[in-house]
Structures are given as structure tokens and as C-alpha cells.
Amino acid sequence: MVKRYSFGDVFQTDSIPVIPEAQTGAMPYMDVCESEMSLTYQMDPEDIVYGLGENVRGINKRGWIYESKCSDESKHLEDRRSLYAAHNFIVVDGRETFGLFIDYPGILTFDVGYTELSTLRITASDWNLDVYVIEGESAVEIIRTFRKLIGRSYIAPLWAFGNGQSRWGYVNAQDVRDVVRNHRENGIPLDMVYLDIDYMERFKDFTVNKERFPDFAEFVQEMKDQHIRLVPIIDAAVKEEKGYSVYDEGIEKGYFCTGADGKPFVGAVWPGRSLFTDMLNKEARDWFGDQYKVLLDQGIEGFWNDMNEPSIFYAEDRLADALASIADMRDGDQNLDLDAFTKFKNLVLDLSANPEDYKKFYHNVNGKRIRHDQVHNLYGYNMTRAAGEAFERLAPDKRILMFSRASCIGMHRYGGIWQGDNKSYWGHLLMNLKMMASLNMCGFLYTGADLGGFGSDTTEDLVMRWYALGIFTPLMRNHSEMGTRRQEVYRFTDLEGFKNIIGLRYKLLPYLYSEYMKAVLDDDLMFRPLAFDHPGDKRARTIEDQLYLGKELMIAPVYEQNARGRYVYLPERMKMLRFTRDGGMEETVLEKGDHYVEVPLSDVVFFLREGRLIPLSGGGQCVDDVDFENLAVVSFGENAEYEYYHDDGLSKDYENPVNRRVIRA
């Protein structure tokens, strides 16, 4: 059951497609304090608080304070309060079980026992918001009700479940060819190569550098002939440059956000001085979406949207002030004491991602001027919506791959997300796992993290362990930052090991795609905390380093350096499946309880539940190679059966009953 409580003058976010009638009575569960602009709940010691999608820390969000404030947050440190997203949905599970969604485009704080250990307090920056209270028998039921409310999640094409290789630093066609050749020659499956900002003409969206890619359409085709799709990046900001058609047109039509003086607001990003399309203005949004056509026409079928928090390196006027202050300092006393030095240093450090800059520009929503900071969390969402809505117009029968960095709930209907600039830290491998569950709760199913870690130098064992998780995530992509150690798997020593692990992804594809599609179509979770299936099991309620994947499997990746294995808790009897480096598979039945499981670096181990089976394909070098019809099965129990989802993976005939059939042992 869903109840909406409305306060003040609510901005229409379109997070929820069909808005239910507002309630008039008092809100259950939460103490509403309008003067403090907050909602408060006293938590029971046993309560778990789930949700918040993309954010730091655990699956149980208790013990920290989080902010919904889309930020270019490249460190993912434990002391941060937000990452790139604003996912305002939580479930309190315990003495009382209920869900809350705050439909609100500005900055929100979720203090989940930070200020006071047992107090949950949600605070808004102004009191214009809709609060949805969602009730149901269990956390799972509440989440399904919520997911139905927010509308069906974006569906990626089947090929996007292949292995993808990316690096900020593949600058021309030859670099891409080398990546593909190294995979193919070594027998490492590959379906996608991503193009980062260097493919563009001086970082101008919707252009391709002609020296680096002399005939782009031809190159796209050359790659497709090898079963490789190129996936270019699109940045949020548009370069200021007369003669660049996107800039000229946007200026002429008035489609960019404006400053207080009504003139286009200038901030700097990759190309230097840039403008920000008014994604909240429908006409401007349609126009921006139409720009993707240039690349679609050259054979591109997928994109990733970046820097759409939006990330701003510096605002023009702040830079001018900083330079003036530095000039003053230069001319004055250069003996800087602590205070003076701090001030000096911060003049430069505070230029980037300065929240004050979000107060300097405006959107035009149906003729009304709205200051950006009040609707900040809707920007990335509406950039991706621009693309998603355009794809419906430009290629209505085709699935286009789309994922974004910034997001809020609502965007899940138009694209997936990747988990942003993580680092090559072991802790970020574990965070990748945890976030899968929280993101699924908020409607983001096509997701994954940069395998091997984006920032910092990685190591072979970290990359290998990370793949042993990444083969299960819908978005499977190795991506790294310019200047860091190269981390394509063929750069390392144990190629056989990598081949085994990545090869297993392709054997599991019939299962993974099936579970993904069923989760989307049934408003269900693909990845679940153990507690959801064992609400009465106290151990299961605390476990955050193992997850259920669909109804059949439990995964428990190794996430510690030099570990030879790990402890795994089985909330019930299960069959352990071990895939070894020689391509073999071992099956061992384990009883309920704790087990130390050895996991050599190149093995993949996971667990099959009793009475279930999973299909396995024969694998392949690309998704096109995989035979989704002639399947082997692995089962645990005699009467096991499986609901298998299979379609062409390209078109949109999702509801066709022939797509679902039952497989028996």
C-alpha cells in the first residue's frame, strides 16, 4: 500500500509516472516537524535500514549520515556522505517494517543514527516535498510495491551483457584495434570497447576527431564485423565555440542555463569554457536528445553519459576572483602563516565542484525561473532522459545501451548507471558488491563498477578477484584512469586464469540475462541481501559480503588481498559449484552453517540452492557466439525446474509469452 503526503509547493520531478492522491491524515511511523523541515523515527536496536542506492558504506545504512546531493565524488572514501546519485528511498525493517520515498529535487540528509545512535532523521533544505509511505508484509514486498510505483526499469540490449573493455586513454582507431586484437588472439571474450573523451574533436559532444578516426562510420562497421560495439562517452557540458553547431544552435534557441543576469551561464569542464543545456526544459531536452542522432547514424548503439551532476571545474566569476586575490597576495607580503596559506591554497581548491556555483544558474521550467541548487539532483536524470526519450523517437524498435554517472530515481526508466570513479582498492571491490543490492532496491538493475578500479595503480590479483565478482553484474566493464597502470587482462601473467573467469560469464549468460529480465519485468530484485530470504535468521540479517543472485544462486566473492579463500555462511543447505582454471566444474553439497571455503585466485565459487537448477551455455568469444537454445543444466534436487527468459535481445517484445519457458533437470 502506498500513501502520499504532500507539503508545500512541490516541484514536479516526474520520478513517479502516475502520482496517487495525497492523504489528509497524519503520517504514520514518522514524526513530522515542519519548523525543522524534518521527519524523525526512533529505531529499535534490531532494525535494519535498507536503501539509498548508490552511496558509501553498508547495505544496512545505520551508523552514518548520507546526503542526496549528486556530486563528482572521485574518492569514494568512507567519510563521504554522497556519491553521484540521489536515491531517496529507504526501508526500515524490524519492529515495524515500512518504506519511505522522498520525492524532492533538492538536497536531503538522511541521518541514520549518526547524531543519535537510535534516531533516524531526514532533513530537507526546504519544505516543499512529497513523502511516500509504503507498507507491506516484508521488505521485499515493500520494495516491489515501490518499484511498481516508480515504473519499469530500463532494459539494456543483450549484447551489453558481454565483456567490455575501457580506458581513459584509447585515443584513436589503432588503439581500439589493438585492444580488440589482443582479446581475440588470446581467446578472451569481448563485446564492447568504450570510447572516452579523446575520440571527440577537442571534447566537443557529438563530434568525432577526424585525424584519430578518419572514417568513423566505416570503423564502427569494421568493429561490428568482429562482433565489437563501440560505446562513446557523452559529457554534460557543451563547449563554447562559435561555429560549433551545438553551441550555435543552443545559444540561438536559448537552450542553455542562464545566470542571474539572464545571459548563458559559463562554467569550465573538459573543453574549458562550457555551457549547460537546460535539461529541465522540455524543448531543450528534446533538442539535446536529438543530437545523439549524429552518432546513431554512424552505427553507434550505446552511450555512457558523464559529468552530469553536473561537474564544474570552475565558474567563470569564481576563477576571476581567485586570480585577483592571488595577484593581491603576490603583490603583498609573501610570508604566509597558517591562516594565510590555507586561504591561498583554498582559493584554487575551492574552484572545483563548489556548491555555491549551483546557486548561480537557473533553469526555465514552463516559463518559471528555477535556481539550479533547488533542483540539483534532477540534472543527470534529465540528461539521460533526454537521450532515452530521443531513442524512442529515433530508434523506437531498438534497444540502445545507455548508462549514466549521475542519477536520481526516475532516471532508472531511461538508463542504468555505472558506479563512478572508484579506486583500485580491495575495499572498493566489496563496496561494488554491497551497492548492487542497494541499487536494485531503487530500480537500477543495469549496473556495475569499474572492474580493477578506476583510479590508482591496480594489481593482477585485485583485477582477477574483481572479475570473479564482475562476471555476475549486468554491466561488466574494466575501466581505468589515464596515467594509472594498464589493466587490460592481457597485460598480466595468468591469461589462462582470466580466460576461465571471463569465459564463465558467457556460460552463465542464459541465467544472468534471464534473471535480469525477470527482475525488470516483475519489479523484482536481481541481487538481494540474505536477510530478505531468511528474515528470522539473525546471522543472515547481518551478512553484507554475500548476496543472492536471482532465486537460484548465492555469491560470496573473495575481497581481501592474499586471501586463499573465505568464510561463507550458508543459511540453508546448498550445493557449492567450483569452476576451476582448466574449465572444469566441481559440485559439493554443504550443510547449513559456516564453512571455510578455499578459493584459489583463478577459481570461481558460488552456491546453488536446493530444489533449483541453472542453465549453462557452452560459452563463446562474444554474445553472438553463445547458443541460448542448447543448454546444459546444473541442478540440486531431483524435481528442480527453472523459469527461463529468452528473447532476441535487441527488440522490445518483452511481454511475448514465448519468451518464458520452464526448463527441467
Which residues make up the interface to ligand MIG (CB under 6 A)?
Answer: 168, 196-197, 233, 306-307, 405, 420-421, 479
Task: Work out how close the CB of 420 gets to ligand MIG at its nearest, in angstroms, rounded to a whole number.
Answer: 6
CB-based contact 645:653 (threshold 8 Å)? no
Residue 281 backbone phi and psi in degrees, to 5: -95, 120
Please, which residue, 196 or 524, has the CB nearer to ligand MIG?
A: 196
Please, which residue, 227 or 479, has the CB nearer to ligand MIG?
A: 479
Please, which residue, 25 or 483, has the CB nearer to ligand MIG?
A: 483
Please, which residue, 429 or 504, has the CB nearer to ligand MIG?
A: 429
Q: 18: Cβ–Cβ under 8 A, 6 or more apart, which residues?
A: none
Residue type, 432: N
CB-based contact 597:565 (threshold 8 Å)? yes
Task: Work out how close the CB of 328 gets to ligand MIG at its nearest, in angstroms, rounded to a whole number.
Answer: 30
Give kind and range of the element (H or E) at residue 86: strand 85-86
Please, which residue, 110 or 418, has the CB nearer to ligand MIG?
A: 418
DSSP string for 625-642: G--SSS-EEEEESTT-EE
* Angstrom distance (rounded) from CA 181 to CA 215: 20
Task: Work out how close the CB of 430 gets to ligand MIG at its nearest, in angstroms, rounded to a whole number.
Answer: 20
* Angstrom distance (rounded) from CA 182 to CA 295: 26
Please, which residue, 364 or 422, has the CB nearer to ligand MIG?
A: 422
Please, which residue, 311 or 438, has the CB nearer to ligand MIG?
A: 311
Beta strands 98-103 and 129-135, pairing class:
antiparallel
Task: Work out how close the CB of 400 gets to ligand MIG at its nearest, in angstroms, rounded to a whole number.
Answer: 19
CB-based contact 557:464 (threshold 8 Å)? no
Task: Work out how close the CB of 122 gets to ligand MIG at its nearest, in angstroms, rounded to a whole number.
Answer: 28
Give me Rg for the CA atoms of the chain. 25
* Angstrom distance (rounded) from CA 537 to CA 528: 15
Spatial strand order of the sheet with 237-239 comes to 237-239, 272-276, 267-269, 314-315
Task: Work out how close the CB of 369 gets to ligand MIG at its nearest, in angstroms, rounded to a whole number.
Answer: 30
b/e map 558-568, b = 16+ CB within 10 Å:
bbeeeeeebeb
Burial class (CB in 10 A: 0-12, 13-18, 19+), 616: buried
- Give just the sign of the alpha carbon dihedral 415, 421, 422, 424: positive
Task: Work out how close the CB of 350 gets to ligand MIG at its nearest, in angstroms, rounded to a whole number.
Answer: 17
CB-based contact 608:588 (threshold 8 Å)? no
Q: Is 116 helix (H, G, I), strand (E, B) or coil?
A: coil
Q: Is 605 helix (H, G, I), strand (E, B) or coil?
A: strand
Please, which residue, 103 or 481, has the CB nearer to ligand MIG?
A: 481
Task: Work out how close the CB of 233 gets to ligand MIG at its nearest, in angstroms, rounded to a whole number.
Answer: 6
What's the residue count for the chain?
665
Burial class (CB in 10 A: 0-12, 13-18, 19+), 659: middle
Task: Work out how close the CB of 198 gets to ligand MIG at its nearest, in angstroms, rounded to a whole number.
Answer: 8
Please, which residue, 111 or 306, has the CB nearer to ligand MIG?
A: 306
Please, which residue, 484 or 514, has the CB nearer to ligand MIG?
A: 484
Task: Work out how close the CB of 171 gets to ligand MIG at its nearest, in angstroms, rounded to a whole number.
Answer: 12
Q: Report the residue number whose CB is nearest to ligand MIG.
A: 168
